[in-house]
Amino acid sequence: MRKSLLFSAIAAAISGMAISVHAQDATGGGTMDRTTPPATQPADRTTDNTAGDVRSVRSLLKNTTEAAVKKDGFDNLVRRFVDADRNRIGKNDLTRTDWDKLNGRIDKFRKDWKDKYNQDFDIDHEDVVFNDQFRVTKGEIGDAQPAGSRMDPGKPDTTPGPEANKVGGGDTNRDKGRDVAKVTFPASHGLPQVYVPLINEFPANWKIDVPDEIDGRKLYDNLLNHLTMVDDQKDQWPSDVNDAYRLISHHVFLAIMNTPMTGSDMQKPGDIDRDRPATPTNPR
């Protein structure tokens, strides 16, 4: 009887050790909280930001900003957009004269940038520029909308798209199970808050989901308008170069998302009036 009880005690101890090791492995070497019932554990995937996703999103923000302020970078900029937006914006009526005008503006901006900061426009440290103030939330197409998410524009839309029945969700890439995200640019430098929705395209690339009303001409006008405004205000650029990168990126994404500006000395993106001479409210 004593041997039987001893063997039972040893078996129970070994079983307990195995459970403890398994619990530590599942949590990456930490300890598992057994006091909280599973039903009360956080379930909202929109707050599940892996380090890899955040790095990829920051890289997208960097590359998009740099393409927008590079000569002949318009096509490279558009390649950062989701399929349907690339196809729509790629069909435009822009002429060589238009491209020369945009390139001239970019040349002037880049010269003014180098004169002030003694360096070319090149975001070396995207983790510093796009820091934790740039909130990234994540979800999956087909997930139930978390409570209050429809009232929170900072959370991604997880509803399937109109082509969800097609392989890969068609050009809109909104098939069930696909990862989506949203980046929040906080209000700063006198610029409004802007939300940037993202869709994960095969094999594992985040792309920008541009508003449907944006075509090639409107994106061109918005971009030219914002670059003109920010360059005209170069005497107000921040002294810290990383903060200045944030300012320029903020303007670029306001242009991409067609987000209205505020302030008496600024006009709304896309409102360039080609029939009037250049003025502070009608930059050319």
Q: pLDDT tens digits, residue range 196-250?
A: 999 998 777 999 999 999 999 999 999 999 999 999 999 999 999 999 999 999 9
Q: How many domains does the chain have?
A: 2
Give the mean model confidence (pLDDT) for residues 95-122: 98
Interhelix angle 96-117/241-256, rounded to 10 degrees, is 160
> 78 lies in a domain?
yes
- Asked if residue 281 has pLDDT above 70, the reply is no
Task: Give the pLDDT score at 169.
Answer: 58
Read out DSSP for 103-158?
A: HHHHHHHHHHHHHHHSS-S--S-HHHHT-TTSEEEEEETTPPPPTTGGG-TTSPP-
> 274 lies in a domain?
no
The CA angle 44-50-56, to the nearest 5 degrees, is: 125
The CA angle 115-117-119, to the nearest 5 degrees, is: 85
- The separation between CA 123 and the C-alpha centre of its own chain, rounded to angstroms, equals 16
Question: pLDDT-derived band of residue 268, with 50, 70 and 90 as boundaries?
Answer: very low
Task: Mark whether 167 and 201 lie in a shared domain.
Answer: yes
How many whole angstroms separate alpha carbon 155 and alpha carbon 91?
A: 31
- Asked if residue 187 has pLDDT above 80, the reply is yes
Domain span at residue 23 reads 2-40
Q: What are residue 138's phi and psi, to 5 degrees?
A: -130, 150
Task: Give the pLDDT score at 218.
Answer: 97
Nearest residue to 81 via CA among 223, 197, 174, 166: 197
Task: Give the pLDDT score at 146.
Answer: 56
17-44 pLDDT tens trace: 333 333 333 333 333 333 333 333 333 3
- The separation between CA 95 and the C-alpha centre of its own chain, rounded to angstroms, equals 30
Spatial contact of 185 and 193, defined as CB atoms under 8 Å apart: yes
Task: Mark whether 76 and 23 lie in a shared domain.
Answer: no
pTM more than 0.85: no
Task: Mark whether 130 and 26 lie in a shared domain.
Answer: no
Task: Mark whether 214 and 104 lie in a shared domain.
Answer: yes
39-94 pLDDT tens trace: 333 333 444 457 788 999 999 999 999 999 999 999 999 999 999 999 999 999 99
Eight-class DSSP state of 212: T
